[in-house]
Structure 1
Amino acid sequence: MARPEMVADDRGLVHGGFTFGLADYAAMLAVNDPHVVLGAAEVKFLAPVTLGETMLAKAEVIGESGKKRQVRCTVSTDRPVFEGSFTCFVLPGHVLDC
Structure 2
Amino acid sequence: YRYFPDKEAVAAALAREFQDSHVTLVARHTAEHPPGETVEGLIRRLVDAFAERFRTEPGFRSLWLAGPPRFPEARELSDGANARVAALVHR
The normalised TM-score by structure 2 is 0.31
Which structure has more helix as a fraction of its residues? 2
Higher strand share: 1
The structure whose RCO (Cα within 8 Å, separation 6+) is larger is: 2
TM-score by length of 1: 0.30
